[in-house]
């Protein structure tokens, strides 16, 4: 891969990581994950 292709691939990977981080740290996703864990713990405990 040439230097320009390497740079473009790096920028694309960083942009994808930033979008993924924003999605995963959003309150909606956090609420869904919290509900899943809470439900699982209730089923195990009771």
Over the stretch 13-29, which tens digit does the pLDDT of each residue have?
999 999 999 988 888 88
For residues 25-45, average pLDDT: 90
- DSSP code per residue over 15-44: HHHHHHHHHHTSHHHHHHHHHHHHHHHHHH
Domain boundaries, the chain: 19-46
For residues 33-38, average pLDDT: 92
Our CA angle for 10, 22, 4, nearest 5°, is 10
Total residues found in the chain within this entry? 46
């Amino acid at each position: 891969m040439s230097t320009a292709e390497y740079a473009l691939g790096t920028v694309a990977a960083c942009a994808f990581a930033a979008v993924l981080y924003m999605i995963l740290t959003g309150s909606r996703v956090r609420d869904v994950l919290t509900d899943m864990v809470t439900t699982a713990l209730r089923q195990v405990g009771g």
